[in-house]
Amino acid sequence: MKRLFIGPVLTAIAVLSLLAAAIVPKAAAASQFADVKPAAWYETALTWAADGGIVSGYLNGTFRPLAVTTEAEFLVMLLRATESESIRPLRKGEAWYTPYYEKAAEFRLPLSLANYGKAITRGLVARLIAASLGRQLDTVSAVKFMLSTKLSNGKTASTVEGYKADAFLNRAEAVSLIYRVYLYREQLEAETDPSKEETAGSDVGGGNSGPISGPGNGNGSRPEDPVRAADNLPQRTANLQDSLRALGLASEATTQGIAVNHPDRNGSGAVLDPSGEYGGTMQILDDGNTAVLSSARALLQFAGVAIDEPSFRSMIDQVKTSGANAAIKIGNQMVTFARNTTPGQLTVSYTLFDS
């Protein structure tokens, strides 16, 4: 198997197999598991993972979707999926997981041999995913990363609290999450590989292959990493206020983030939550209102996302028409547009990724 780890941390590609529940024969499919009902919410993901040899069932033909996995089991699954050729052979008399913990230490994964038999938590899963993308983050920051990239919508809500970092990850959740991560990576690769252009929203704005215009350094790239630098914060704040003033709107700081009022009714029209140095999310609460959309783009520009008006509107239209997510690469950011479960609302996520 091709090596996917480079240096002290996992590369982005390694995340494709991060949440595998077991390494198994490749002939399995979701329909072959006795305890998986037809049209189970995770069936598509399970079929994909089973066909790819990522997960398997037990000797009695079951998958046990509600069973939890231990840290050692999860680590072995991860490294067998991504580093099988670099794991040394098991020595006589040592525990089956020992070589994998040695490799984890080499890659600086946030694991402890003392916890080998404990069930893995959703918080640790978030940290492993962040580490696989080259980010050594604490649990809260890693959870924010999961939410801002839409790799997870949380367990009970799309918030740090709703993510339930202390809860365990069962096998159904694991296989569903690995499938989502796989699709996310496919989308990122499609944005950077012209040969995959037709599979993602890479030709928005009429096939724009040139630099995206907007505030910045004159060559169309983002002016800076969002939130990470504060050197032009006063200027960005002034630009936001000018843009909102021209629309007859105003912003305020709330517990959800920076909110802009709706022009025609009580409440907010758009809310920006800059989750951290690696990105953030924005809620568009009325995708049919022109002023709301203009204020939403102004919020993105304030966050450091240099997306021009035609591309922004094209992405909105694409999601509203198709119902599928759409993404656009701007500098070293990936900006993803997704429809919410509430009609007329969208979520825009922006995140940094390694070029």
CA atoms of 297 and 151, how far apart (whole Å)? 23
Quickly state the pLDDT bin for 16 (edges 50, 70, 90): very low
CA atoms of 270 and 176, how far apart (whole Å)? 30
Quickly state the pLDDT bin for 213 (edges 50, 70, 90): very low
Average pLDDT, the chain: 74
The tens digit of pLDDT for each residue in 146-183 reads: 898 888 888 888 899 999 999 998 888 877 777 777 77
The tens digit of pLDDT for each residue in 47-95 reads: 877 787 777 778 898 988 888 877 877 777 776 766 667 879 999 999 9
Listed residue (327, 309, 80, 74) closest to 212, CA to CA = 309
pLDDT over 50 (residue 121): yes
The tens digit of pLDDT for each residue in 179-209 reads: 777 776 667 666 655 554 433 332 222 222 2
CA atoms of 216 and 305, how far apart (whole Å)? 9
pLDDT over 70 (residue 254): yes
pLDDT over 70 percentage in the chain: 72
Tokens of 3: 């090596």
The residues, ordered by sequence, that sit 6+ positions from 92 with a Cβ below 8 Å of its Cβ are none
Domain residue limits, the chain: 5-187, 200-352
pLDDT at 166: 93
CA atoms of 65 and 45, how far apart (whole Å)? 12
The residues, ordered by sequence, that sit 6+ positions from 178 with a Cβ below 8 Å of its Cβ are 16, 17, 18, 19, 20, 45, 49, 54
pLDDT over 80 (residue 265): yes
pLDDT at 192: 59
CA atoms of 3 and 14, how far apart (whole Å)? 9
The tens digit of pLDDT for each residue in 122-140 reads: 899 888 777 766 678 889 9
